[in-house]
A = this chain, B = another copy of it.
């Protein structure tokens, strides 16, 4: 096991009715800026619950944060906060609203230049407005981590940031808020959480049996509960299990002391930036392709995963069977697993590779994925 530091100070408030606790979680004198997305929270009752809970607080609102939250949109919120200061940011929505809110929290006080530098050159930030969230979509894990991924419309870029200052002070997770999610978002959420686990698990054996089994606990739960949520969207236990699994899929605990991959996410962000695919759609199309490309290097873990999650114990090519079974699982969620199904061909693959060449770093647990390998993986995902 490699040395590690684990420190996750997020306070999770989990369960039905828990939005009512908001008033005790935000300082009474705080000027709150509530951030949200496209309006679904006004239809499913979440907006009303939040407003009722914060009846005695001063609350301004900033809506319209889109999926794959855009720098251009977020900078309008930054401008708003610079004119009308806020002491606390409250994200109400899914991971995109929360990621956007994390960027806003860091950007408000960033005066050394364009806040995009926080992403593009990892410019250090010394302070952030404190933030909390009411989560309505289990998927990204942003509610219990210090990451955010932001897109820039003007340059078709999608980049990640990490900063301990943006751990939410609290995250309220009420599974009932997810009862009315469209199937596509439910499936995307399951696939996103599944992919997060895999980026931290599907590498090589590192003599870390606990981390392996904890990752497999998450995978088994997603495999069992994901399809149930599509059949029974108002089943509280199922929604609760998915919400809890998605949070723990990227709260850092299964990454402690083990190698990580992140090739699928790295390439996937480019597909979202260039083609507008949902984040999870890119992951589902790319992950099996990454595994096929890296089958020799990932052989031992593919076989372990196939046996422990899918019961694959006999026949030729155990690793290949595990990959096939994973693709079948995604299809059982109603998802497409090939880029060609989205009308995407090979014409811009070289452009994607060039972007990575320009950034000068390689992907994968062995740093073995460079521009050439990225094109090969994209070809396998067609």
What is the interface of chain A, defined by CB distance below 8 A to chain B? 1-18, 207-210, 213-214, 216-218, 220-221, 224-225, 237, 240-241, 244-245, 248, 253, 256-257
Contact status A213-B216, CB under 8 Å: yes
Contacts of A10 in B (CB 8 A): 7
Known A241-B208, A256-B244; contact A5-B1, beta-carbon cutoff 8 A: no
Contact status A241-B15, CB under 8 Å: no
Contact status B17-A12, CB under 8 Å: no
Query: Of the candidates B5, B208, B218, which one forms a contact with A12 in the assembled complex, judged by CB atoms under 8 Å apart?
Result: B5
Contacts of A245 in B (CB 8 A): 210
Can you show 5 pairs from A to B with CB atoms below 8 A apart?
A3-B18, A208-B241, A210-B241, A216-B217, A244-B257
Known A210-B248, A217-B210; contact A240-B1, beta-carbon cutoff 8 A: yes
Residue of B nearest to A247 (CB): B6
Contact status B14-A3, CB under 8 Å: yes
Expressed in whole angstroms, the minimum distance between the Cβ of A339 and any Cβ of chain B is 32
In the bound complex, CA of A217 to CA of B308 (Å): 12
Contacts of A2 in B (CB 8 A): 15
In the bound complex, CA of A3 to CA of B15 (Å): 4
Contact status B224-A220, CB under 8 Å: no
Contact status A1-B237, CB under 8 Å: yes
Expressed in whole angstroms, the minimum distance between the Cβ of A325 and any Cβ of chain B is 19
Expressed in whole angstroms, the minimum distance between the Cβ of A369 and any Cβ of chain B is 27
Among A216, A217, A224, A253, the one with the most B-chain Cβ atoms within 10 Å of its Cβ is A217
Contacts of A207 in B (CB 8 A): 237, 241
Known A6-B14, A10-B7, A257-B15; contact A244-B1, beta-carbon cutoff 8 A: yes
Q: Oligomeric state, in number of copies?
A: 2
Known A216-B217, A217-B216; contact A210-B11, beta-carbon cutoff 8 A: no
Residue of B nearest to A245 (CB): B210
Contacts of A253 in B (CB 8 A): 248, 253
In the bound complex, CA of A198 to CA of B147 (Å): 34
In the bound complex, CA of A7 to CA of B2 (Å): 25
Expressed in whole angstroms, the minimum distance between the Cβ of A229 and any Cβ of chain B is 13
Expressed in whole angstroms, the minimum distance between the Cβ of A328 and any Cβ of chain B is 21
Query: Of the candidates B1, B17, B18, B225, which one forms a contact with A241 in the assembled complex, judged by CB atoms under 8 Å apart?
Result: B1
Contacts of A18 in B (CB 8 A): 3
Expressed in whole angstroms, the minimum distance between the Cβ of A222 and any Cβ of chain B is 9
Contacts of A214 in B (CB 8 A): 214, 217
In the bound complex, CA of A257 to CA of B243 (Å): 12
Contacts of A3 in B (CB 8 A): 14-18
Among A1, A2, A220, A240, the one with the most B-chain Cβ atoms within 10 Å of its Cβ is A1
In the bound complex, CA of A209 to CA of B248 (Å): 13
Expressed in whole angstroms, the minimum distance between the Cβ of A251 and any Cβ of chain B is 10
Contacts of A16 in B (CB 8 A): 3
In the bound complex, CA of A14 to CA of B18 (Å): 34
Residue of B nearest to A235 (CB): B207
Residue of B nearest to A218 (CB): B210
Contacts of A8 in B (CB 8 A): 8
Expressed in whole angstroms, the minimum distance between the Cβ of A201 and any Cβ of chain B is 12
Contacts of A248 in B (CB 8 A): 210, 253
In the bound complex, CA of A207 to CA of B238 (Å): 8
In the bound complex, CA of A13 to CA of B209 (Å): 19
Residue of B nearest to A251 (CB): B253
In the bound complex, CA of A3 to CA of B256 (Å): 27
Q: Which 9 A-B pairs have the closest CB atoms?
A: A3-B15, A213-B217, A7-B11, A207-B237, A210-B221, A1-B240, A6-B12, A9-B9, A214-B217
